[in-house]
Amino acid sequence: MYVSPDLNKTESLTIAVTGLNANDNPGPGLAVIRALRAGFGENIRIIGLAYETLEPAIYLRDQVDKTYRIPYPTAGAGALKARIKEIQEIEKIDVLIPNFDAELYNFIKIAPDLLQMGIHSFLPSHQQLEQRDKVNLAKFGEKHGFNVPDEGVVFTASEIDNIASKFGFPLMVKGKFYEAHTTLNSADAHRAFHKLHAKWGLPVILQKFIKGTEINIAGLGDGKGNAISVIPMRKLYITEKGKAWAGITIEDEKLITLAKDFAKATIWKGGFELEIMREDNGSLYIMEVNPRFPAWVYLTVAAGQNQPKALVDLALGRPTDDMNTYKAGKMFIRYAWDNIVDVEEFQKLSAFGEL
């Protein structure tokens, strides 16, 4: 489907990828790997970086050439750096693509050290990461003129009714880190507040409920204010966890303009995903911004714009291919597949941290 430029044909690239958890709430790793294999063909070696021993893609040996375990983000940037250094002494990684929100802070922190080891990356800054964070999204929208759902941050239950009378019901009540409840009345909202307070602490976020169609946009920012690729996808089938299990590329200038405006306002560097709600009257709301490629990023390849490959090119300072057109109507339908593995492989990874 994709013809790589000649310069890529001769030399071989080693690319490390995280997010191998291709489960029911999938990490984007496997999709990124598939896109890279489609883009670079034979001349590529994929190093998987895994946190857990049961991340499914580890065991897909035709996709992942070798996997190493790396320390959890909670162990800190120092531990991560030390482990990558160990790995780099064995592998010669050219580019590293992190795919988890939770690990990005550390990878951004050690990016200069990685470069010294010869590992390129293409990541947003801590500041860019911070401003799109859930608790800052309202401020972010206000500053750059994007529609985001109205929000109130509350520290005590007594503040709920005041805000609820402004936003009306249904009302979203969201935890500081995770979890959101759609509440239908004041009693409901109070209950959700106490639950989220107990679980995630304060503050609790009240968000205006937006009714409409869920659309996701996969994009790639060049760090100079341009989105060099934008592919919008409408969710067709949504899992219990709210993840797209099937989707279709759509064509809508407004969506593409929104993503380009986002990249321009933030000078975004790297992959991103905008979660959009389109109201019946056509207004577009940014519900969330994910600072990495989405798990459905292989659809961008199918539609004609290989975003992961372009990210690798950007990371290495190579020219990227023009990505001006894409096919609307390309669908992805995810499926589950039971891969068979012997216990020895699992044990080996558990004990030695590599497979």
Instruction: Indicate the helix (H) or strand (E) that contains 49.
Output: strand 44-50
By rule CB under 8 A, what string of x and - marks binding of each residue 131-150 to other proteins?
Answer: --------------------
Q: What are phi and psi of 296, to 5 degrees?
A: -95, 20
Q: Are 222 and 264 in contact (CB under 8 A)?
A: no
Task: Candidates 7, 184, 202, 328: give the one binding other proteins (CB under 8 A).
Answer: 202
Alpha helices, DSSP H, located in 209-324: 253-266, 298-302, 307-315
Query: Which range in 8-16, 222-230, 275-283, 345-353 contacts other proteins by CB under 8 A?
Result: 345-353
Q: CB of residue 343 vs other proteins: minimum separation in angstroms?
A: 6
Q: How many residues bind other proteins (CB under 8 A)?
A: 31
CB neighbours of residue 350 within 10 Å: 13
> What CA–CA distance (Å, rounded) separates 292 from 311?
11
Query: Could you tell me the sign of the dihedral formed by the alpha carbons of 187, 193, 196, 197, in that order?
Result: negative
Which 63-122 positions form the footprint of other proteins (CB under 8 A)? 69-79, 82-83, 102, 105-106, 109
23 is a site residue for other proteins (CB under 8 A): no
Chain centre to alpha carbon of residue 190:
32
Q: Which two tokens stand for residue 113?
A: 């050290």
Q: CB of residue 104 vs other proteins: minimum separation in angstroms?
A: 11
- Residue 14 or 53: which CB sits closer to other proteins? 53
Instruction: Indicate the helix (H) or strand (E) that contains 290.
Output: strand 284-290
- Residue 92 or 109: which CB sits closer to other proteins? 109
Residues that bind other proteins (CB under 8 A): 52-54, 69-79, 82-83, 102, 105-106, 109, 155, 201-203, 343-344, 346-347, 350-351, 353
